Amino acid sequence: MSSLIQQVINGLSLGSVYALIAVGYSLVYSVLLFSNFAHGGFLVIGGYICYYSLLKGGANIWVASLAALLGAGISAMAVERMAYKPIRERTPITLYMLIASMGMSIVIENIFVVTIGGRFRALPPVIPMQTVNVFGVASTSASDLLSLVTAVVFLVGLQLFLSKTKWGLAIRAASYSLRTAGLMGVNVNLLISLVFFVAGLLAAIGGIFLSARYSLYPQLGVITTKAFVAAVIGGLGSLPGAVVGSLILGLAEMLAAGFLSSQFRDLIVFGLLIITLIVRPTGLFGKSVGEKV
Amino acid sequence: MDACLELKGVNKSFGGIHAVRDMSFSVAEGELAGLIGPNGAGKTTIFNLVTGVYDVTGGEMEYKGANINRLKTYQVVALGIARTFQNLRLFAASSVLENVMTAAQYHHRYSFFEAVSHLGRWRGTERAIRDESMGLLERVGLADRAGQPAGTLPYGLQRRLEIARALSLKPSLLLLDEPAAGMNAEEVSTLNDLIVKIHEDFKLTILLIEHHMDMVMRICHRVVCMNFGALIAEGPPRDIQGHPEVLKAYLGEEE
Amino acid sequence: MGDYTIGIVTLLAINCIAAMGVSLFTGFTGIFTLGHAGYMAIGAYTSTILIIKLGVPWMPAIIAGGLAAMFFAYLIGLPTLKLVGDYYTIASLGLGEAIRLVIENWESVTRGARGYPGIPHYTTAPVAVGFMAVLAVGMFFLINSNYGRAFKACRDDYVAASLLGFNTSRHRVFSLAISGFYCGVSGSLLAGFMSFIQPVMFDMAKSTELVSIVVFGGLGSMSGCLMGTLILTLVTEMFRPISQYRMLIYGLVLVLVMVLRPEGLMGANELGWDSLKRALSRAKALTRDTAARFGLAGVLIGIPVSYCFQPSSVRAISLAEYLSCIPSLMSGAVKFGAPLHKSVAPNAALAVVIACAICASFAWALGGIIKLVKKIDDSRAAGRGM
């Protein structure tokens, strides 16, 4: 029983990290209607910035995290400006942006491979790892609880930003129709940059926790595939869907790892994706894709 | 006359917005009917419901007596319904001829093995598709532009191409969504002739959405007018023209 | 031809087959994929197991490999291709991984991660080239038929296509199945060529290579896909010594082609008389372009300049011989890094290529600056005239 509760807590914690990544990805999808596969790159960039500012810069964890968040956000904006802006300004075909994003993801990953090498690096022990007893029924690691709490804080923050601020309103408007938002006087380029900044920032938090949980290496971004799957399960482009999908996926993964075999984790993820697409192709919260004809 | 298309109390809502409300009208076999109404009245939504792009929320749609509520878009085509689009949906990069051939092949099939080997029926069928498509392009006056990419045609000709493409499906009901949008008076008048002529020659039933009121009045046998998703008037053009509700819909209420 | 060249030709043919499959799906049906190496793996393992465990002759085994991959692609396509392509793309990211996991863990049949050795070497150059020729003709014919038009219609506007009577999701699944068949055959041939297969041979890098080729060659052009295979395979062979940059280059190809020339090498055009004429007229127009003229001058200057600055051992050979080395270098017949006396020619050729590139790009930039200055002058003059 206690091991079940422990796995559930672990699952929720992992799921909340996925949620941070998936929400950013869904945000970009809802505005630009393409799958930004370079999203994993932002996560890795954040991870490495955090690593190097801790190790070489001698910064404490707060400064390092802040640097990582800003760095990843800015590089996300830069990627959008360099790779996607020229495409979206010329053609409405989102396939081109999707291909460019896939290219960008490979480029970011391999820039790290050729410059600092592909070896695994452990983040210095700045995130508490000791075992914590939860209400006397289960024990889990402090980092799991910390990531759960941080994720909730940032997701609530994002929700407030989207619902209470002017720019949040503009982003929500753009997710219905970017063109109309543009016609209403919203600076579309600035808005898209902002969306990418937020997405990069959220990905960086995920990156820091993932590199603390596993370790840091250039291919860490591949893990975003799971966040993509989570976003599909929840419904592409839906933010609540992304969160719920992530939690489901995190739980399924940890329960599979705990009670079956850790080798089945990835197969479970893939299986869940296929089942979702068979049973409910638009995901849990997805609107059916109605197109203006 | 038998009804070709009949809508009985059709409803469609998107979230809380009622795009079409309790809409009932019918188009008789062989009729050339017009569907008019101010912008946002739900005319195109009616077309989308009939062709299965959207699912109806309530009510019944019948085509030649058979219910078409749940049919998918390609199944609707199989029944003999074809349409054009308000904001053109041509395959812009493909040639004019290829656009029509893509649709014309619907009635000319050959097997996969004939396709990969170019043996058997391939040659004859391809020629038949090509000849038929060229014939239709001649009908709409685009034969000399057959090789040009469709996206490079002037607007008016793109609309004609859409008509040719829809005709190549050999429909019995043709839905035209603003075929004269963006045309000048002269182009509208030649388009009038074209529509009347294909209506006769192909023995079609046509339902057309149009804003050029003089065009509707001149060629339509009967006009259906809607506003805010609901039917407000129906009858011969002459009656509709002076109908107070219609005038109100178009000119707005007097303060 | 040496063994090495024959090897390259065989590999080219094998890659071509897989790239044609991806081209049909991504280029003509418009759905991006990063899992097609998985279908190659299915083909490779199916035919290997059939040949080694069941003693099936290689020819039917190759076909069976293709059919197995086709069947699997069909099964994957049914749920994932109901809606727009993004769903399949995300699924394809997990697909390759899932297939690799199954192969690694099903050791009784696949021998796991260590790989499957001892496959008879049935893929000789004629076999590979023969398969490629037959499959290429089939693909060209398929594109020029009802099916090709249907795929393109579903790609360009699936709503319009469905209103022209096409069941778009069925066409997508069909296209995926065919492309799965091509990749399966390619994988079967690869197994017979390498005599040894291992799950890591069919990893994400292989999938990326395939789509890079297709994007580079031009989405919607089969001849572009063949040329893309030729160029990218040779370039990766040429740069084998710096193979750690390989993935970086693929990534850059994807981004740069999309940003600068989304239509790729060939656009949606096929190699033929028309496109040749177009290319000629474009070349003619280029000679009227200042920047291009300077670039050409740069190449012409670059050759003698690079020749003069070569070590005396290189200048011992004639200029003609020197130039003739370029193709042999390109085909990989001579490798870098061999002792000087053997590698005089390739080093020289490399020097020519580099010198030409440097001179040309300098000259090109110079021409561009001149043009820009002229334009500014012109606008000034126009301003004065007003």
Domain borders along chain C are 3-260, 289-385
Instruction: Please tell me the least confidently modeled range out of B52-66, B149-163, C257-271.
Output: C257-271
Dump the DSSP string for B126-172.
HHHHHHHHHHHHHHHT-GGGTTSBGGGS-HHHHHHHHHHHHHTT--S
- Please report, for residues B93, C37, C187, C258, the alpha-carbon distance to residue C215 in angstroms, rounded to integers and kept in the order given: 18, 16, 21, 8
Nearest by CB to residue B118, choosing from C141, C147, C165, is: C141
CA C108 to chain centre: 35
pLDDT, averaged across chain B:
86
Residues in chain B: 255
CA C86 to chain centre: 23
Residue C319: name the closest of C291, C351, C272 by CA. C351
Most confident of A167-171, A279-283, C60-64: C60-64
Dump pLDDT digits (tens) for C45-61: 999 999 988 988 889 99
Residue A52: name the closest of A108, A109, A112, A123 by CA. A123
CB contact under 8 A, C255 and A114: no
Residues 6 or more apart whose CB falls under 8 angstroms from that of B239 comprise: B233
Average pLDDT over residues B96-121: 88
Class (C level, CATH) for C3-260: mainly alpha
What domains can you pick out in chain B, each with its CATH number? 3-80+171-251 (3.40.50.300)
Interface mutation vs chain C, best among B79, B81, B105, most C CBs within 10 Å = B105
Chains that touch C (3 or more CB pairs under 8 A): A, B
pLDDT at A136: 64
Distance from CA of B111 to the nearest CA of C (A): 9
Nearest by CB to residue B93, choosing from C145, C156, C161, is: C156
Cα separation, A98 vs C88, whole angstroms: 13
Which ipTM did the prediction report? 0.88
- Annotate A161-185 with b (16+ C-beta within 10 A) or e (fewer): ebeeeeebebbebbbeebeebeeee
Average pLDDT over residues A1-7: 76
Distance from CA of B209 to the nearest CA of A (A): 14
pLDDT at C332: 45
pLDDT at B255: 42
Contact B28, B202 (CB under 8 A): no
pLDDT, averaged across chain C:
78
The answer as to whether A255 is a domain residue is: yes
Nearest by CB to residue A103, choosing from C159, C204, C255, is: C255
Dump pLDDT digits (tens) for A111-134: 888 888 778 888 777 666 677 776
* CB-based contact, A115 to chain C, within 8 Å: no
pLDDT higher than 70, residue C144:
yes
CB contact under 8 A, B85 and A293: yes
Average pLDDT over residues B81-110: 88
* CB-based contact, B205 to chain A, within 8 Å: no
Judged by DSSP in three states, B77 sits in helix
Spell out which residues of chain A touch residue C84, defining contact as CB-CB under 8 Å: 289
Average pLDDT over residues C13-27: 92
* CB-based contact, A290 to chain B, within 8 Å: yes
Place of tokens 């939690």: A247
Structural domain count, chain A: 1
Distance from CA of B232 to the nearest CA of A (A): 24
Tokens in use for A30? 């809802």
Distance from CA of A86 to the nearest CA of C (A): 6
pLDDT at C62: 93
CB contact under 8 A, C146 and B105: yes
Q: Side chain identity at A209, as an amino acid letter?
A: F
CB contact under 8 A, C163 and B83: yes
Beta bridge pairs of residue B207: B33, B175
Cα separation, A127 vs A142, whole angstroms: 8
Read off the pLDDT band of C340 (50, 70, 90): very low
Instruction: Please tell me the least confidently modeled range out of A223-232, C69-78, C117-126, C331-340.
Output: C331-340
* Cα four-point dihedral sign A32, A36, A38, A40: positive
* CB-based contact, A219 to chain C, within 8 Å: no
Judged by DSSP in three states, C208 sits in helix
Higher pLDDT, A28 or A175: A28
Distance from CA of A291 to the nearest CA of B (A): 8
pLDDT at A80: 92
CA-based nearest residue in chain B for residue A290: B54
Looking only at the bridges linking them, the beta strands covering B230-235 and B66-67 are unpaired
The answer as to whether A13 is a domain residue is: yes
pLDDT at A145: 82
CA-based nearest residue in chain A for residue C27: A95
Instruction: Please tell me the least confidently modeled range out of A181-185, A282-286, B206-210, C317-321.
Output: C317-321
Dump pLDDT digits (tens) for A92-108: 778 888 888 988 998 99
* Beta strand spans in C221-357 (E): none
pLDDT at C329: 47
Higher pLDDT, C298 or C221: C221
pLDDT higher than 90, residue B214:
no
pLDDT higher than 90, residue C173:
yes
The answer as to whether A284 is a domain residue is: no
What CATH number has the domain bearing residue A129?
Answer: 1.10.3470
Read off the pLDDT band of C379 (50, 70, 90): low
Average pLDDT over residues B128-143: 90
Domain enclosing residue A126, as ranges: 9-279
Question: How large a percentage of chain C has pLDDT more than 90?
Answer: 22
Average pLDDT over residues C24-53: 91
Contact C202, C38 (CB under 8 A): yes
Beta bridge pairs of residue B5: B27, B63
pLDDT at C386: 41
Instruction: Please tell me the least confidently modeled range out of B36-50, B209-223, C195-209, C258-272.
Output: C258-272
CB contact under 8 A, A236 and C86: yes
Average pLDDT over residues C88-97: 81
pLDDT at C280: 73
Spell out which residues of chain B touch residue A293, defining contact as CB-CB under 8 Å: 44, 47-48, 53, 85-86, 89
Residue ranges of B 37-56 with Cβ closer than 8 A to chain A: 44, 47-48, 53-54
